[in-house]
Structure 1
Amino acid sequence: MTVNRRHALGLGGVAAAGVVLGSPAAAASEEEEIVAVDAASANRKIARTYAREVTRARGTWSSYIGVTGADAAAVEERADEVVEAYSVNKIAVATAVLDKVDRGLLTLDQRVDVTADIVIRDTDGIFGLDGAYPSSVTLGHAMAALLTLSDNTAVRLCGLVCPAAELNEILRGKGFVHTQVVPVANPNRFFLGTTTARETYTLLQKLVGGTLLSAASTEYLLTVLRSLSSFTDGIRLDLSSEERLRVATKAGWFNDGRNEAGVVFDTAGKPMITYSLFASGPFRGDAAANDTNFGATHPALRARQEIGRTLVDSVGRFSAETALTFKARVYQPSNGG
């Protein structure tokens, strides 16, 4: 594992690598709680949790975690290795569509047709549950389903307005040469493709930095990703409702891959931690059982739950200068009527 070991225990040089992996000194160090009072101590706290949890979960991880104001990454492991992104790349799909919205080529309120032949009945999302086709929805509704419920029919709906070749060209133009979808014979359809941990991290950093999209599109994308309807089985599982609203996240899974990437905000709306976690098996336990387990009990998701709790706990005791703030909407439950 090539995680930044000096952050893991607050030690220097390569000596830390020998300490992390089960020595008496490591056991003693685990008992010493690190309180995140600045970016450097947040780095150490995050790196320690990451090292412990991915060792426990096993598998192969490509990861990048950065704290605003820190001199170096808290975690940087196989960050430039091209990996299957799975549904994490739906953020990239939405970015390309919103780029066209920003250029006046599309609008969120324009309608897209939902025909029977475009619906994927894979139990993910909501379009496969409808049963009433043909119908239509707004592009904004389609992307909300894409990002919250990870609806795969919504991928095809986005492809109707942003074909695969154009989508990849938009992403390359923004500097994301490895974050690409896989074209097929139908130009309006594609498979979700590849990325690297560093590129996904950079995409999210540009998003919260206000340089990826317009202010309106940035707010739209971050609001959807922070919705309480969005993914909660990983980073956000062990968080309160208020804490979940401060985490913009997107997960992706297929075969033995279990991925998640997002941003943690402090209570003032400042983006403080950005994470990009891509993992594939074999993980701890039975491989066949793990490959068919896409829920919260999977070893990789157990690891992300612990990492998520640490990320949120590392935010709030210190601040940092950021160009923009993004306040989450206060959760207001309703009983209908």
Structure 2
Amino acid sequence: MTIRVNRRTALGLGTIATAGTVLGAAAPASAADADADPGLTAEAAATPGRVAARVAEAYERETTRAGGNWQAYISVADAAGAPVVAVADDPDQRLEAYSVNKIAVATAVLDKVDRGLLTLDQRVDVTAAIVVPGGDGIFSLDNAYPSSVTLGHALAALLTVSDDTAVRLCGLVCPAAELNSILVAKGFPNTQVEPVANPNRFFLGTSTPRETHELLRALVAGTLLSPASTAFLLNLLRSPIAFTDGIRRTMSSEERARVATKAGWFGSARHEAGVIFDAAGAAVLTYAIFADGQADADNFGSTHPAVQARARLGRVMMNATARLTGTGRRHRPSPRRPSNGG
């Protein structure tokens, strides 16, 4: 079997020495294999190193197939919870994170909650002037302003349906300069929002794949926020209405509940970052994947090449980690079932 090594896989070779010689072991033998159901091309692996190798191969295959520009950092947790790096593709490139940075915005707001400066049940005013016209989410569909919602409601809209107006609502309680200083203090100097003239508003700003990855690892390790805020944030990212077009697309309801994810899209960019947990709620894989420059830039749906690539990669990652047991903190998802009203 020929192992194809290019820029992407070479970047990761030094950091996945535990995967080492098995890199490419699951590589497809033909183009037809690459087009097959990815669930059939990445069965469960027994060790973190082998999982990392399979993820590396799938990332190489899918990003090459989709084209465009990719930057990513993906790791698999070993028996002690330390990361075995599967993909390190330009991981320190600082780039526009778009809505993936809503995780960082929520982190700063929840940090203020943890310090007693804010509460989730306090109300924020929703005025006609603050609603982003035509933006993603639900506030722009309301047409009933002025109104108010709780801060917890605003954060739920921010992280599940990726509401753009919710960004401005967060800015009312955590201005841009304060938000950035909180993130710097937590060790994320490249994960920063972009201030504008109004101190309570900002563009979502920048991050790097590595910093986004490390922010997520700190979150599940319990070192980023209090236990209550950690559970609140992860429950939103794992909810049934959180992003389902990418990593979670070809998964069952139970599998989707084991994935905390946040996507970001603007212009030609299609990003996604998150964590896959084992059945007991321990993290087994963390990913931060940034892409832009693919064809069909005006398509923000599930048929965009980069989104399709992430869906296939997500299936591979879920299958490959099926035999791993995570260590450290467990974050069991809250039960979510459809209701028929009443």
TM-score (norm 1): 0.90
Pairs within 5 Å for 1:131-142:
131-142=143-154
Pairs within 5 Å for 1:1-337:
1-3=7-9, 4=12, 12=21, 35-69=44-78, 72-281=84-293, 283=294, 287=295, 290-322=296-328, 324-337=329-342
The one-letter code sitting in structure 2 at the alignment partner of 1:326 is: H
- Report the Cα offset of residue 45 of structure 1: 1.3
Structure 1 55/268 Cα, relative in aligned 2: closer, same or farther at 3 Å? Answer: same
Distance 1:11 1:113 in 2: 55
Q: What RMSD in Å do the two structures reach over aligned CA positions?
A: 2.5
Distance 1:220 1:11 in 2: 38
The one-letter code sitting in structure 2 at the alignment partner of 1:184 is: V
The one-letter code sitting in structure 2 at the alignment partner of 1:258 is: R
In percent, how many aligned pairs have the same letter? 58
What is the aligned residue count? 324
- Report the Cα offset of residue 238 of structure 1: 0.5
Contact 1:241 1:331 in 2 (8 A): no
The one-letter code sitting in structure 2 at the alignment partner of 1:41 is: R
- Report the Cα offset of residue 123 of structure 1: 4.1
Contact 1:184 1:190 in 2 (8 A): yes
SS at match of 1:144: helix
The one-letter code sitting in structure 2 at the alignment partner of 1:131 is: N
Distance 1:224 1:208 in 2: 14
Distance 1:89 1:217 in 2: 17
Distance 2:96 2:20 in 1: 33
Distance 1:33 1:263 in 2: 18
- Report the Cα offset of residue 59 of structure 1: 1.1
Contact 2:72 2:288 in 1 (8 A): yes
TM-score (norm 2): 0.89
Moved over 4 A (4+): 5-8, 10-13, 20-24, 30-34
Distance 1:87 1:331 in 2: 24
Structure 1 38/125 Cα, relative in aligned 2: closer, same or farther at 3 Å? Answer: same
- Report the Cα offset of residue 297 of structure 1: 0.3
- Report the Cα offset of residue 330 of structure 1: 2.6
Contact 1:242 1:331 in 2 (8 A): no
Question: Structure 1: any 5+ residue segments left out of the alignment?
Answer: none
Contact 1:35 1:41 in 2 (8 A): no
Distance 1:23 1:306 in 2: 17
